């Protein structure tokens, strides 16, 4: 494992405009074969990253191991960076109601819905930023319910030393197959765990391939069968899971994306400049190189570049970038 250096990242994607290159996105990508070995990599697969919201399935697994018990649709919301539509918010309220917890106990950063229609509806109704509307409210509702189940205090549940967070920490090493490293603070206020890029790929692989009766398998099934609740609408993670049956996929802030299949194939990507528009094209190409049929995904995660409202270019994975070895 290594910290960021100039040589940790290589050119992975290019933005073109009117037939000419305009921008280049550097990053790192690692792909695991079905047996868990590295099939290919570009950049440094051992580079340490903040997966940000790509950590949510791991955090959800930690909660399940502490007694959280939810139906698949609500468990998908615990793993989600949701759009904040009425369907998402109703689900979060159902999670809280199951333990008679008031939404005022949510301590994630107040925000408006990511979904434009839902955001406008809130504002037209005279509403404003609220914790329940923020995209991480599913995870936070799961955290509060887990505290209630175990008799842990609800106040301060985001503190790194809170018994909830210590329990969640313990889920990481077995999944990433590496020691738990640095822990920072995420945008929503929850702990943000650091790991290597290949550790993230291994974590998703271990969730996707978990035995059928395990907590990890519950997480995988919830996400892959309820992709609209994990993101929503046109969100990339949702589109990948819709388009590839059985895929477990999750994006994270600052251009992180991880995905894995039940047969053990997995991919993790970090774009160095934090530009999410480069993530999906690289993930599509990496999955294709692994032999995954991405036809249905590539049709809907196209990243157009506009000129005066018309498409004049696109963001594409650089030909040959994934032929390199990290």
What domain range includes position 182?
50-279
Angle 202-205-207 from CA coordinates, rounded to 5°: 110
In a domain, residue 99? The reply is: yes
- Using a 10 angstrom Cβ sphere, with 0-12 exposed, 13-18 middle and 19 or more buried, the burial of residue 243 is buried
Average pLDDT over residues 290-297: 96
In a domain, residue 259? The reply is: yes
In a domain, residue 132? The reply is: yes
In a domain, residue 101? The reply is: yes
Tens of pLDDT along 40-49?
A: 999 999 999 9
In a domain, residue 247? The reply is: yes
Tens of pLDDT along 181-219?
A: 899 999 999 999 999 999 999 999 999 999 999 999 999
Helix segments in the chain, DSSP class H:
56-65, 72-78, 86-97, 116-124, 137-150, 163-169, 172-176, 197-208, 215-225, 227-230, 236-243, 279-289, 295-298
Using pLDDT thresholds of 50, 70 and 90, give the confidence band for residue 326. Answer: very low
What total number of domains does the chain contain? 1
Q: Identify which has the larger pLDDT, 291 or 1.
A: 291
Q: Which CA distances in Å does 44 have to 76, 207, 303?
A: 31, 23, 25
Given a cut of 80, whether residue 6 has pLDDT beyond it is no
Q: Tokens standing for 60?
A: 């959800």
In a domain, residue 23? The reply is: no
Asked whether the whole model's pTM tops 0.85, one would answer yes
How far is Cα 107 from Cα 235, in angstroms, rounded to an integer?
25
In a domain, residue 192? The reply is: yes
């Amino acid at each position: 494992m290594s910290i960021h250096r100039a040589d940790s990242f290589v050119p992975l994607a290019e933005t073109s405009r009117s037939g000419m290159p305009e921008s280049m996105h550097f990053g790192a990508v690692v792909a695991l074969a079905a047996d868990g070995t590295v099939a290919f990599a570009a950049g440094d697969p051992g580079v340490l990253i903040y997966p940000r919201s790509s950590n949510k399935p791991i955090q959800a697994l930690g909660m399940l191991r502490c007694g959280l018990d939810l139906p698949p649709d609500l468990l998908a919301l615990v793993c989600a960076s949701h759009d904040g539509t009425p369907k998402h918010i109703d689900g979060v309220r159902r999670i809280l109601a199951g333990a008679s917890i008031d939404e005022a106990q949510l301590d994630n950063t107040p925000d408006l819905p990511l979904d434009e229609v839902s955001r406008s509806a809130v504002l037209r109704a005279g509403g404003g930023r609220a914790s329940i509307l923020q995209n991480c409210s599913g995870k936070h509702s799961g955290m509060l319910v887990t505290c209630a189940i175990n008799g842990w205090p609800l106040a301060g549940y985001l503190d790194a030393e809170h018994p909830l967070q210590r329990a969640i920490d313990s889920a990481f090493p077995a999944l990433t197959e590496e020691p738990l490293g640095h822990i920072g603070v995420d945008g929503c206020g929850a702990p943000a765990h650091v790991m290597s890029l290949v550790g993230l790929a291994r974590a998703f692989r271990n969730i996707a391939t978990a035995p059928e009766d395990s907590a990890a398998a519950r997480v995988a099934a919830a996400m892959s069968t309820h992709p609209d609740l994990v993101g929503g609408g046109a969100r990339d993670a949702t589109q990948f899971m819709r388009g590839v049956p059985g895929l477990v996929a999750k994006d994270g802030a600052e251009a992180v994306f991880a995905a894995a299949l039940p047969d053990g194939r997995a991919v993790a990507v970090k774009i160095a400049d934090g530009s999410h528009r480069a993530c999906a094209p690289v993930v599509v190409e990496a999955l294709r190189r692994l032999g995954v049929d991405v036809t249905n995904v590539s049709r809907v995660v196209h990243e157009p570049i506009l000129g005066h409202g018309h498409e004049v270019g696109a963001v594409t994975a650089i030909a040959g970038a994934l032929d390199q070895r990290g």
